[in-house]
Structure 1
Amino acid sequence: MASAIAYRLLAALLPCNCVLCGASGPALLCPGCRQQFFAAAIARCPLCANPLPPTASAALAGPGQGLLHLVPCGRCQAERPAFDATVVAADYALPVDRLVLQLKFARQLALARLFAGLLADAVQRTDASRHPRPALLCPVPLGLQRLSERGFNQALEIARPLGKTLGIAVHAKLAVRVRDTPAQSSTPHGARHANIAHAFAIPERALVEGRHIGVVDDVMSSGQTLQELAATLKRHGAARVTNYVFARTPPNTN
């Protein structure tokens, strides 16, 4: 209680600027930008989180009630992914995409906590009966070379405060990357599956077997990385895999 009061007093004395619009205030994100970019109820595929056609908007419930049951998109119906659900906080589009780049390449680590809070809000808006909470959170691991170059794993930086908020333990090395691969974003779309194939390993099967694992990442584009990691977790006995991703690339750009 005392620390919370001290934090509010400090925020009042040292206001900061909104990371999106620059407005002065006590938080990194002003109420207006939070409402505009992160509070809208968007009908998304329950498996891959891509936006569904406008006709799916009829499935939106009233304010504060989240989403009613949505049918998976055509792509997921044709070829069901290894993961069982995906929850995202926003689309990876202007101006939100700039925040991800600032975290990854400008070392703005304070944004990881902001991302975690926004993602936790999205998780808490989901129907708990359809989206049960996982037993463990697993950040998508980086290869040793990229981790050395960057100095941190952005997925882990998001997972730690997300786990604290949701009351879920984070296991930083539940999955490891056993081979370095070129960045998926720089790989042609048709080559992404081969690029990431067999890139992950699970050192301790007992931690995964029969359990629901939550996989945390900053961005989901083609979904191949999350698909490969979920398939690896399932081969080691995971009962369910849910992705918790800050931003989802719109389907026409992924």
Structure 2
Amino acid sequence: MRCQPRYKGQVYICLKNVQTCLLCDEPADEKTPLCVACETELPWLGNHCQRCALPLSAADLTCGECLLEPPAFEQVVVPWRYGFPVDSLITRFKHNAKWPFGHLLADVAGQYLQHRFDEGLPRPDVLLPVPLANKRLRQRGFNQAAMLARWLSQSLGLPCEETALRRIKDTDAQQDLDAKARKGNLRNAFELVPDSLVQGRHLALVDDVLTTGATAQTLARLLMNAGAARVDVYCLARTPKPGS
């Protein structure tokens, strides 16, 4: 039995392409249900580490952690800082099954990624959603990363392989752990499904939020060891350092 929803239509109402902004209820100017004013006020990332997208005070820099220990992934591509209202929208999408908010963020993130591709960011061969633990999948009923990857696949014209990666160990929730504990928590937690096409391919992991990068690092290392040519990470939001 599959818990993953397979709804293929729009999750917000479309009537002659006239939308109401999901954040302020004012008319939206485009087919996406977000008005220009609210889109401008979103917490856009700004200056960040060129490798892990950690928010920084200046442009075109690489953070100390990435210089000291370069991650297995090549680049994190993310439009927003994890701040209001994006943090609230992600929480309501992920924990309250408010799919319109997730679809909205995926639509705008897809536009952002397409802009980055137009500027020279290499397009991946395939999107791979971060797998969810079986226990959490049963509780939630869906994998938010898989839904985001599916929506991005549709908007960007990229294939999505939802079953290539598998979480084989139910781990504690990452948000309850510090950086060191997160790394230990993920040890031997994932595996690559046999016969998955990885060798020589450019892969992009898809998730909702990147905090310490422990999950992305673990999966990227697994894929690179299996022969991937490059692994990028696409997320909706990146958290700043605690206290910053």
TM tier, smaller: 0.7 to 0.9
Distance 2:240 2:199 in 1: 33
CA contact (8 A) 1:18 1:25 kept: no
CA contact (8 A) 2:131 2:167 kept: yes
Aligned residues between the structures: 231
C-alpha displacement of 1:94: 1.9
CA contact (8 A) 2:117 2:123 kept: no
1:42 and 2:76 aligned? no
C-alpha displacement of 1:169: 0.1
CA contact (8 A) 2:131 2:145 kept: yes
1:33 and 2:35 aligned? no
Would you tell me which structure has more helix in proportion to its own residues? Answer: 1
Q: Percent identity?
A: 37
Which deviates further from its counterpart, 104-113 or 81-90? 104-113
**Aligned match of 2:179 in 171, 186, 189?**
189
Deviations 1:26-67 (A, max 9, x none): 4532211111216x571221210112223x2xxxxxxxxxxx
Structure 1 unaligned runs (5+)?
A: 57-69
Which deviates further from its counterpart, 122-131 or 183-192? 122-131
Deviations 1:45-103 (A, max 9, x none): 1210112223x2xxxxxxxxxxxxx3422221111001001111211112210001100
1:247 and 2:237 aligned? yes
Distance 1:252 1:152 in 2: 29
SS at match of 2:54: coil
What's 1:65 paired with?
A: none
Distance 1:45 1:199 in 2: 27
Q: Provide TM-score, normalisation by structure 1.
A: 0.83
What's 2:67 paired with?
A: 77
What's 2:146 paired with?
A: 156
Deviations 1:92-134 (A, max 9, x none): 1122100011001110112222121121122123265752111
SS at match of 1:238: coil
1:237 and 2:227 aligned? yes
Q: After the TM superposition, which parts of structure 1 deviate over 3 Å for at least 4 consecutive aligned residues?
A: 7-12, 127-130
CA contact (8 A) 2:93 2:102 kept: yes
C-alpha displacement of 1:24: 2.3
C-alpha displacement of 1:8: 5.9
Q: Provide TM-score, normalisation by structure 2.
A: 0.86
C-alpha displacement of 1:152: 0.3
C-alpha displacement of 1:17: 4.4
Distance 1:186 1:88, change over 3 A: same
Distance 2:114 2:153 in 1: 13
**Residue identity in the other structure for 1:135:** D
CA contact (8 A) 2:76 2:235 kept: yes
Distance 2:100 2:129 in 1: 17
Structure 2 unaligned runs (5+)?
A: 1-8
